[in-house]
Amino acid sequence: GENVEQHPSTLSVQEGDSAVIKCTYSDSASNYFPWYKQELGKRPQLIIDIRSNVGEKKDQRIAVTLNKTAKHFSLHITETQPEDSAVYFCAASRPPTGYALNFGKGTSLLVTP
Amino acid sequence: DAGITQSPRYKITETGRQVTLMCHQTWSHSYMFWYRQDLGHGLRLIYYSAAADITDKGEVPDGYVVSRSKTENFPLTLESATRSQTSVYFCASSGVEDEQFFGPGTRLTVL
């Protein structure tokens, strides 16, 4: 089955700096790659996603890049703010499993003022 | 997010007891999923369903049973709870090719 590796497991940055989280996947048939943010005690919430026919996608301070050849994708957060502190999960999914997600183990991001 | 609910939110049970976790969504989404979240493992798929009466196993299905007689409900049953099933359980739903929306989670403790 699909195996998603996520690095780093923890990341500490100063407010205003950029943060990058990287994921690799094993199944070349995977075609949907969402990123979820989970605050302590809360449910995961989608922050951005990308499909395999797109190389990059941006939404304000957040961007995701996908390299299908290397089977890796990355989350970039610019101008980080303390409220960006949370655990971030990458995931990958392939048809025909109805976008059942295989998650990475998460990155705990701490943004210090 | 209010469209997907889970009950109970917290449950304490004993080894060997049967426990059912409920999940209800109001969007008429076709797909529903059960994940468990454990420290060091992230979120792992237990079971998923593409439609009423269609279910399939995920990564960690052993010890769990699901059913989906109605589109809006997707209960998860632990037939004989074990301590290793202590976890936070998240239900999620999605339409075809849409974002997965997660429920608020159920924190289950098996003593």
Which residues of A touch chain B, with CB atoms under 8 Å apart? 1, 6, 34, 42-46, 49, 89, 91, 97-106
| Confidence (pLDDT) at A98 | 66
| Confidence (pLDDT) at A89 | 97
> Mean pLDDT score of chain A, rounded to an integer?
93
Contact B108, B19 (CB under 8 A): yes
What residue in A sits closest to B38 (Cα-Cα)?
A105
Contact B24, B43 (CB under 8 A): no
* B85 three-state secondary structure: helix
Name which of B45, B74, B89, B98 to mutate to probe chain A: the one with the most chain A Cβ atoms within 10 A of its Cβ.
B45
Write the Ramachandran bin of B82: left for phi over 0, alpha for psi from -120 to 50, otherwise beta: beta
Note the pLDDT tens digit of each residue in A43-96. Answer: 999 999 999 888 999 999 999 999 999 999 999 999 999 999 999 999 998 876
Nearest chain B CA: its distance from A108 CA (Å): 11
Low-confidence ranges of chain B (pLDDT < 70): 1-2, 97-98
Contact B68, A10 (CB under 8 A): no
Shortest CB distance from B59 goes to which of A1, A42, A44? A1
Q: Is the predicted pLDDT of residue A1 greater than 90, yes or no?
A: no
Contact list in A for residue B42 (CB cut-off 8 A) is: 6, 89, 103-106
What sign results for the dihedral spanned by CA atoms B60, B69, B77, B4?
Answer: positive
| Confidence (pLDDT) at A96 | 67
> What does the DSSP assignment read for B33-84?
EEEEEETTTEEEEEEEEEETTEEEE-S--TTEEE--SSTTB--EEESS--GG
| Confidence (pLDDT) at A64 | 98
What residue in A sits closest to B60 (Cα-Cα)?
A102
What residue in A sits closest to B48 (Cα-Cα)?
A100
